[in-house]
Amino acid sequence: MEQTVAAMNGSALVRRWSPRLTSVRRARGELRGVLAKWGLEAIEGEALVVLSELLTNAVMHARVPPGREIETRFLPQPNGLRIQVDDADSTRPRPCGQNSEGGRGLELVAALSDSWGVSDRDGIGKSVWAVLTAPGRKDA
C-alpha cells in the first residue's frame, strides 16, 4: 500500500506517500473523505484538482532520496482548507511560460486557489501549499 503513515495532528490530516503516480489517486480519496467530514464538499472539485497538481509535481519532478516519502497535509481553515505537499527536494517549482507546451499545473493551482506558495521546511526540502475558500464562507 502506498500510504505508510497516517496521523491526525489536531484537526489536520497528515499522510506520507511513496513517490509513485498511484499515490495521487489514493491521496485524492483521502481528501474526499476529509472534505466530507469537515463539511467542505462545496470546494471538492477545486481541491481535488489542486491536490492532483501539487502531488503529481512532487512525484514527477522532486528528486526524493531513496527511502524518503512525500507528505500531504490537509488543514482546515476558518473559511476553507489548506492543502500542503512536502518533499525532500529543495528545488522550488515555478510556473512555465506562456509558450510552454506543458507544465501549466501551477497556473491552474493559482486560478483555483485563493493563495498558493512555496515555503522552506524544517530539515531538507520544501512545502508547496494552496488555500481554498468555500463559497459563502469568505467572511466567516
CATH number at residue 10: 3.30.565.10
Within a domain: residue 105? yes
Within a domain: residue 140? no
Amino acid at 95: P
| Stated pTM of the model | 0.86
Within a domain: residue 139? no
Within a domain: residue 92? yes
Within a domain: residue 138? no
Determine the structural domain holding residue 19 and report its residue range.
3-133
Query: Given this model, what pLDDT does residue 2 score?
Result: 44
Could you give the CA distance from residue 140 to residue 124 in angstroms, rounded to a whole number?
A: 36
Instruction: Give the β-pairing of 70-77 and 126-133.
Output: unpaired
Within a domain: residue 118? yes
User: Mean pLDDT over all residues of the chain?
Assistant: 85
CA angle 55, 73, 49 (to 5 degrees): 40
Instruction: Give the β-pairing of 70-77 and 80-87.
Output: antiparallel
Task: Quickly tell me which residue has 522552506 as its cell.
Answer: 120
Q: What percent of the chain clears pLDDT 90, i.e. is strictly above it?
A: 61
Could you give the CA distance from residue 109 to residue 36 in angstroms, rounded to a whole number?
A: 21
Within a domain: residue 18? yes
Report the number of distinct structural domains present in the chain: 1
Query: Given this model, what pLDDT does residue 137 score?
Result: 55
